[in-house]
């Protein structure tokens, strides 16, 4: 494919990524409107309006990547964009909570088909020497997508209705589908048989785990639904491992996780998105309640996080080659964890400039982490498993996102105290960001230690 066409395809694929990742973040801005709407959702229903998309997205992304490898990545990508548009339309016109949840689930199915196959289509179109830079750009879009979701969502929601958020996604999905159909090459299919039993067990285990994570802050971590979810996840993951070790063509071979570099990169990706989406969850309310921003100002208020990603994303790969993988990853976690701890010192008197400076610090860490960790995961799997490899990356992201929201929500609820609502909220938000920042730093140490182990094994 000529350079001009490759550039055009890269732009279109990046738009696909921004669309499906941005939807995860944008819905948080609509929560106050949904709560006050004629739908009258309960507190539990409101949580699931936000999280149904994430849960379905996370659970189906690996099977969707495998389907792309088997049936053709371009076709599955186009089908995903069509389902995304259909689900967004159903959400926009939903007369009640149940159809809205169905629309969110359908949109999540579409997103699961889009994300892994977008990178797989792209990697098929570029020469081997360009793949590292291509992966870096694609990975940066997964970070930028969350921020642009805040900005775009805030802009759309100024129209005054949550329905416009979903309605706006419909033409965006259809336009990107038309452009993909016109520009993306058809990649070769692989005759690897699908693994229906492994798929069912993996999806079931993922659903059980995410139900436990999502319901934890709402129902309590010791509640029957949460304990059952976690116990079910353990049993189903064990059954999945047993089945996959004996399958001729496993969906995701558990033996891959013997590769220390792959393990560390997956943990690292989960941790980065754990921190990012905990921040997104707090940021939307902090800027509105503590700083008095409107919905558009709140969406725009996260922009400083993207400045390093946009300006420095292409330099992460060369930097990692110059200073080493371990040093790059260590710096990434230091910046993300340090930035979150810095943000935890903010209150109603903190100037926005000070808040924005800590967002930039966090963004530097994200810029270093995403392309570096994505490259490790992609490089650990053979080319004919590109869809599954990208699906594995997406799964770690969505699990991290759901876990970040659940953990910070729990900490905020426990730590919110003060003479008035704003004071209580700020106290809870600061405590939540402090806990998340410490967790990111601790897990970062584990990621770097595991990476050193993998490099030591390779040099023997």
Burial 354-367 (b: 16+ CB within 10 A, else e): ebbebbebbbbbbb
Q: And the tokens for 347?
A: 């209150």
Q: How far apart are CA 194 and CA 249, in angstroms?
A: 7
Q: What is the chain's length? A: 460
Mention every residue, 6+ apart, whose C-beta is less than 8 A from residue 398: 24, 54, 57, 58, 61, 273
Name the percent of the chain in helix, strand, coil, to the closest 5.
85, 0, 15
Return left, alpha or beta for 393; rule: phi > 0 is left, psi -120 to 50 is alpha, else beta.
alpha
Q: How far apart are CA 245 and CA 397, in angstroms?
A: 25
Mention every residue, 6+ apart, whose C-beta is less than 8 A from residue 268: 329, 332, 333, 369, 373, 443, 444, 447
Q: Are the C-beta atoms of residues 33 and 91 closer than 8 Å to each other? A: no
Q: How many C-beta atoms lie closer than 10 Å to residue 341's C-beta?
A: 20
Query: How many helical (H) and strand (E) elements, i.e. helices and strands, does the chain have?
Result: 16, 0
Helices (H), 158-223: 163-183, 196-219
Q: Are the C-beta atoms of residues 300 and 154 closer than 8 Å to each other? A: yes
Structural domain spans, the chain: 3-184+251-459, 195-250
Phi/psi for 334 (5° steps) reads -65, -45
CATH superfamily for 3-184+251-459 is MFS general substrate transporter like domains (1.20.1250.20)
| pLDDT tens, residue order, the chain (460 aa) | 566 677 888 889 999 999 998 998 888 788 878 988 999 888 778 878 888 898 888 888 888 888 888 888 899 999 999 999 999 999 999 999 999 999 999 999 999 999 888 888 888 778 877 877 887 788 778 778 888 888 888 889 888 899 999 999 999 999 999 999 998 888 766 666 778 898 899 889 988 988 888 788 778 888 999 999 999 999 999 999 999 999 888 877 888 888 878 888 999 999 999 999 889 888 877 888 888 888 788 888 888 988 898 888 778 888 888 998 889 999 999 999 999 999 999 988 999 999 999 999 999 999 999 888 888 887 777 766 666 677 787 778 878 887 888 788 888 878 888 788 888 889 999 999 999 999 999 999 999 988 776 666 554 5
Q: How far apart are CA 26 and CA 154, in angstroms?
A: 7
Helices (H), 290-385: 295-300, 306-312, 316-323, 325-343, 352-379
* Helix (H/G/I), strand (E/B), else coil: 147: helix
């Amino acid at each position: 494919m000529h350079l001009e066409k490759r550039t055009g395809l890269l732009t279109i694929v990046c738009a696909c990524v921004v669309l499906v990742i941005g939807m995860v973040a944008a819905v948080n801005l609509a929560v106050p409107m949904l709560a006050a709407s004629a739908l009258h959702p309960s507190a539990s229903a409101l949580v699931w309006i936000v999280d149904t998309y994430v849960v379905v997205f996370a659970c189906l992304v690996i099977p969707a990547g495998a389907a792309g490898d088997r049936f053709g990545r371009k076709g599955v990508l186009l089908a995903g964009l069509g389902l995304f548009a259909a689900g967004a339309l159903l959400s926009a016109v939903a007369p009640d909570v149940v159809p809205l949840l169905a629309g969110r689930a359908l949109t999540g199915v579409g997103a699961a088909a889009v994300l892994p196959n977008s990178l797989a289509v792209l990697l098929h179109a570029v020469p081997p020497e360009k793949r590292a830079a291509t992966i870096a750009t694609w990975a940066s879009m997964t970070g930028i997508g969350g921020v642009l979701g805040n900005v775009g969502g805030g802009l759309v929601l100024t129209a005054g209705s949550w329905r416009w958020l979903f309605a706006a996604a419909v033409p965006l999905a259809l336009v990107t589908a038309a452009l993909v159909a016109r520009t993306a090459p058809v990649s070769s299919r692989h005759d690897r048989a699908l693994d229906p039993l492994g798929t069912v067990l993996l999806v079931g285990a993922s659903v059980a785990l995410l139900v436990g994570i999502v319901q934890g802050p709402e129902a309590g971590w010791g509640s029957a639904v949460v304990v059952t979810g976690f116990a079910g996840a353990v049993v189903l993951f064990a059954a999945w491992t047993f089945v996959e070790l004996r399958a001729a063509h496993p969906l995701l071979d558990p033996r891959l996780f013997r590769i220390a570099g792959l393990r560390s990169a997956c943990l690292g990706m989960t941790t980065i998105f754990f921190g990012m989406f905990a921040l997104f969850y707090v940021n939307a309310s902090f800027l509105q309640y503590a700083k008095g921003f409107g919905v558009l100002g709140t969406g725009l208020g996260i922009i400083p996080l993207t400045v390093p990603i946009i300006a420095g994303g292409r330099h992460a790969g060369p930097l990692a080659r110059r200073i080493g993988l371990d040093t790059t990853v260590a710096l990434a976690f230091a910046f993300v964890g340090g930035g979150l701890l810095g943000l935890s010192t903010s209150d109603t008197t903190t100037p926005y400039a000070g808040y924005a400076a800590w967002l930039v610090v966090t963004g530097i860490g994200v810029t270093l982490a995403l392309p570096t960790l994505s490259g490790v995961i992609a490089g650990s799997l053979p080319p004919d498993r590109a869809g599954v490899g990208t699906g594995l990356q997406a799964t770690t992201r969505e699990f991290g996102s759901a876990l970040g929201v659940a953990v910070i929500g729990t900490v905020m609820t426990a730590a919110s105290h003060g003479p008035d609502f704003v004071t209580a909220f700020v106290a809870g938000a600061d405590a939540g960001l402090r806990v998340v920042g410490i967790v990111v730093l601790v897990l970062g140490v584990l990621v770097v230690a595991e990476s050193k182990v993998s490099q030591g094994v390779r040099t023997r």
